[in-house]
Chain A
Amino acid sequence: DAGITQSPRHKVTETGTPVTLRCHQTENHRYMYWYRQDPGHGLRLIHYSYGVKDTDKGEVSDGYSVSRSKTEDFLLTLESATSSQTSVYFCAISDSTGANVLTFGAGSRLTVL
């Protein structure tokens, strides 16, 4: 997990509240990704970023927004959390689409009551 930090690592919140997860990297990698991991589904891409202020939707983007104002930070926001968003969220980084090797953070476990 060297070079990539997720915060918070654990969070419990209530339905309808906003939540922001932060991913911070020290590798100066261009690409950053947010995934969610749920039993039986593997990891599913929520949003990704290919540069500062450049983001795009992934497979399961509904209910999530992202922002990247600096190379090192990629924020995932749940504007109004729902119980279906209870999950483990992983941030990943990649230095080029050619190699496409992802380096993952340690994960953020979110529980929405």
Chain B
Amino acid sequence: AQSVTQLDSHVSVSEGTPVLLRCNYSSSYSPSLFWYVQHPNKGLQLLLKYTSAATLVKGINGFEAEFKKSETSFHLTKPSAHMSDAAEYFCVVILYNNNDMRFGAGTRLTVKP
């Protein structure tokens, strides 16, 4: 069973417009959730994490995500896209134990001038 689903494999926005990258999860436990970003030919870098504190989580580079338990969602947003935001983004959930982190398939974000 899929434990984390990123609803869009590719999102394209214009520079200066809002970004929405969608993530839904399934977990029997109170989940810990993360967003990571991967720039071309690089390793992954943590954007933000949710670990049962505030439901609205702020990350680096102006990104934020809101944990909605009723919708089992953890969507990533940014008010205004920048060219440097073009990358692949991964939603991650801790599934059964702290060493079992499941990655979504990724969403490639393209930012047009």
Contact = CB atoms under 8 A, between A and B. Distances in A.
Report if A and B associate in a common complex. Answer: yes
Interface of B: 9, 32, 34, 36, 41-46, 49, 90, 94, 97-106
A44 B103 contact: yes
* Interface size class of chain A, counting residues whose CB lies under 8 Å from the partner chain: 20 to 34
B44 A43 contact: yes
Interface of A: 1, 31, 33, 35, 40-45, 48, 50, 56, 58-59, 90, 92, 97-98, 100-102, 104-107
Contacts of B43: 1, 90, 104-107
Given A97-B98, A100-B32, A41 B42 contact: no
B99 A102 contact: no
A42 B105 contact: yes
Contacts of B34: 100-101
B98 A45 contact: no
B90 A43 contact: yes
Contact of A102 (B9, B46, B105, B106): B46
Nearest to B4: A42
A56 to B, nearest CB: 7
B101 A41 contact: no
B103 to A, nearest CB: 4
Contacts of B9: 40
A102 B44 CA distance: 9
Contacts of B32: 100
Nearest to B103: A42
A3 to B, nearest CB: 12
B99 A101 contact: no
Contact of A101 (B41, B49, B90): B49
A45 B106 contact: no
B46 A45 contact: no
Contact of A106 (B42, B98, B104): B42
A101 B46 contact: yes
B49 A48 contact: no
Nearest to A49: B99
A56 B100 CA distance: 11
